[in-house]
Amino acid sequence: MRPLALACLLALAAWSPGARDDDAPSPDDVHPLEAAGRFDEAAAVLEQRATVPGVAPDVARAWLDRALDYRLALDDTEAATRILRALAAVAPVAHVAARELDLGDVLTRGQRWRGSAALHTAWLARHGQLAAATLRARANVALGNAWRELGDEARALAAYREVRVVPEPPPPPPPPFLGGGAASGPSPRRSPYPAADDPGAPQEQDAPLAALRAEAMFWQTEPRYRRFVARTTPVYSGPPDRRGYDHWVQSVLNPWVVATVRELQGPLAYAYSAIIHEHAPAWEIAAFERIAATLAAFGRRVRDARLPPFLARALVSGLCDTWNVPADEQSAPYFEQAREGYRRCIRLSTHYRSTHSLYRCERALYDLDRARFPLPDELTPALTHRALAALDLPLATR
């Protein structure tokens, strides 16, 4: 009778609830699905197994994390939201908060800006007081980017300020000017670029936070940069006489130059230098490019400023030479510093293999001084093609 009793016990065990739980899909079942590229089914298997009653929390958390990775890669935000709700029951709050930001990254990459703004606003309301500094910075940068893309500059700047506020430096002293007629554009007293061997480089563990701070500061400075490059030099429209023109120079042109130089040598240079000091490669390159562009833009305004036609035609007391020669001399330091900025941009772009910024800075340097800085062959495919074609030409006869 013993074999019969044993058979009965085995039969009862086969019908027990525990046996039915063992029949649930196992994470091992996802390996063939992964190999076949069937990630949607693999995520479903993992999610189903993780939600079976009795699964250890750390095991369920590992399976849900893996399923969430698949859903995010598949851009299935609805399923990802469902998995996040299940994950909240078995994982610490800090871990769930970080995974919610991974979902936000998917919305950002897909340029779903309204969804991104809603998600990160809700995230900051729930976790903003207790989350780690890096997570808070990550959420605020993403929120600022979303509002910026939606055209709400005020909200974007408010989000960026939560990451890092760019302090306003004291303005530089007013530059000297020549009396009468033309204004003597001030030359930069010092380089706006920090030293190459700057000791303030962040430690390795601070690199993610430094990159987020640099990004926030860059976009916080961007409206000021756009306003600066959009400035136009005042144009004289008064009576065609020397007295009226000299009065306009003293009352309109000189104050405009003073304000422009204060902006260039003060807030703009200070903000971009602060970004450079973060030593986040992508944003350090962008800051060098931006500050070089501001210097080049002002140098062009000084160099290209010309006398009104009625004074140029009259050639009163050699006024054209009095105006044009100083304009060329005074614009030279700005162009030289702009070239230095673009050269630093090129060096960093080459080091970090940033192709797009390398091309932009090579092109800008070429536009500033085509004789000294010709475009490399790899940036001039037409010239390269002609040089290669010349190899097939017959030798010239003597």
- Residue-wise pLDDT for 268-298, tens only, equals 989 999 999 999 999 999 999 999 999 999 8
116 and 223 fall within a common domain? no
Alpha carbon distance 102, 119 (integer Å): 11
pLDDT category at 321 given cuts 50, 70, 90 is: low
Within-domain flag for 360: yes
Average pLDDT along the chain: 78
Mean pLDDT to the nearest integer, 85-103: 94
pLDDT surpassing 70 at residue 184: no
Output the CA–CA distances (angstroms, integers) from residue 381 to 123, 193, 349, 356, 388, in the order listed.
48, 33, 20, 16, 10
Alpha carbon distance 220, 227 (integer Å): 13
158 and 252 fall within a common domain? no
pLDDT surpassing 80 at residue 361: yes
135 and 269 fall within a common domain? no
Is 45 in contact with 27 (CB distance < 8 Å)?
yes
Mean pLDDT to the nearest integer, 9-25: 37
156 and 304 fall within a common domain? no
Within-domain flag for 391: no
| Residue given tokens 């939201």 in the structure block | 81
Within-domain flag for 14: no
Nearest to 346 by CA among 376, 380, 382: 376
**Dihedral (CA of 45, 50, 54, 59) sign:** positive
Amino acid at 43: A
- CATH code for the domain in which residue 56 is found: 1.25.40.10
pLDDT category at 32 given cuts 50, 70, 90 is: confident
Alpha carbon distance 83, 103 (integer Å): 11
Alpha carbon distance 106, 76 (integer Å): 9
For 102, which DSSP code?
H
Alpha carbon distance 344, 103 (integer Å): 36
Mean pLDDT to the nearest integer, 384-396: 43
pLDDT at 196: 52
376 and 246 fall within a common domain? yes
Mean pLDDT to the nearest integer, 333-349: 91
Is 236 in contact with 135 (CB distance < 8 Å)?
no
Within-domain flag for 366: yes
Per the structure, the complete domain to which residue 139 belongs is given by 24-163
pLDDT at 176: 38
Q: Which residue has the higher pLDDT, 27 or 117?
A: 117
Alpha carbon distance 70, 150 (integer Å): 29
pLDDT surpassing 70 at residue 239: yes
Percent of the chain at pLDDT > 90 equals 41
For 293-325, b/e burial (b = at least 16 CB within 10 A) is: bbbbbbbbbbbebebbeebeeeeeeebbebbbe
Lowest mean pLDDT among 225-239, 263-277, 313-327, 377-391: 377-391
pLDDT at 53: 87
Mean pLDDT to the nearest integer, 200-206: 48
Alpha carbon distance 271, 261 (integer Å): 15
Query: In the chain, what are the helix, strand and coil shares in percent, each to the nearest 5?
Result: 70, 0, 30
pLDDT at 266: 87
118 and 260 fall within a common domain? no
Within-domain flag for 174: no
pLDDT at 397: 39
| Residue given tokens 């640099």 in the structure block | 214
Nearest to 121 by CA among 156, 96, 71, 171: 156
Within-domain flag for 96: yes
262 and 369 fall within a common domain? yes
Give CA 175 to chain center in angstroms.
33
pLDDT at 17: 38
Alpha carbon distance 65, 73 (integer Å): 12
152 and 217 fall within a common domain? no
122 and 216 fall within a common domain? no
pLDDT tens across 103-155, in order?
999 999 999 999 999 999 999 999 988 888 899 999 999 999 999 999 999 99
pLDDT surpassing 50 at residue 68: yes
222 and 364 fall within a common domain? yes
pLDDT at 164: 74
Lowest mean pLDDT among 116-130, 133-147, 188-202, 344-358: 188-202
Alpha carbon distance 211, 202 (integer Å): 10
Using CA atoms of 213, 214, 215, 217 in order, give the dihedral in degrees to the nearest 10: 80
250 and 341 fall within a common domain? yes
pLDDT at 383: 44
264 and 134 fall within a common domain? no
Mean pLDDT to the nearest integer, 351-366: 89
pLDDT surpassing 70 at residue 257: yes
Alpha carbon distance 384, 97 (integer Å): 52
pLDDT at 343: 92
- Among 163, 186, 217, the domain-final residue is 163
For 318, which DSSP code?
G
Within-domain flag for 17: no
Within-domain flag for 247: yes
Number of domains in the chain: 2
